[in-house]
Amino acid sequence: MNIFQTIRARILSAFGRPLLRQAATAKLPTEFGDFEIHAYEDLAGGKTHVALVLGEIGDGHGVLARLHSSCLTGDVFHSARCDCGPQLHTAMERIAAEGRGVILYLDQEGRGIGLANKIRAYALQDEGYDTVEANERLGFGADQREYGLGVRILSDLGVRSMRMLTNNPRKRAGVETHGMSVSELLPIEIPASEFTRRYLRTKKEKLGHLLSSV
């Protein structure tokens, strides 16, 4: 959150206005199953996050869930530079097979640096830098994502504890820091290709991801 967003958040808070609201809900049939889509507006940050819910949350315990940060290049354009799109689709398949779960799609492109800077980072990677080095050369941390709003959205949906679909133990720690219990961490490992092997190795060696094939 930048200084302007921080000021805006404080103003909204001072007037008793919510910083997060559920703005819209609709049915969303997909090739993986019939989800319900919920749009949540971050009134302080000016972003919209999306939750896909399948089945009944019930008592909210042990819900299979993935917190997925937006990746336009991977999720929409099927970029071969990352494993984001296949991870998202695999998570949807696994939730559909279970019959209950949540995909939380957070507007945190490029591990939180934004779309334009992510493409700038791609250009640096083309020059030989790895994904962490590229972010740092642009003046950012290796991973700037934050999960407080994500936990608030999950809580609003009735989730009390989760089984998290992720390769990233830091994501689990980020969620638990905000009070959400994670009973199990379930990796989604996509086989490396010639394009993703170095990227995945960097995530394993520098960011601590649980990956066995690189």
Rounded CA-CA distance 208/166 in Å is 12
Asked whether the CA dihedral 175, 207, 97, 195 is positive or negative, the reply is positive
**Catalytic residue numbers?**
143, 145
Whole-angstrom CA distances from 174 to 58, 126, 140, 170 are 24, 31, 18, 6
Rounded CA-CA distance 46/87 in Å is 27
Q: Provide the terminal-to-terminal Cα distance of the chain, rounded to the nearest Å.
A: 34
Give the per-residue SS3 of 52-106: EEECCCCCCCCEEEEEEECCHHHHHCCCCCCCHHHHHHHHHHHHHHHCCEEEEEE
Asked if 121 and 108 count as a contact pair (C-beta separation under 8 A), the reply is no
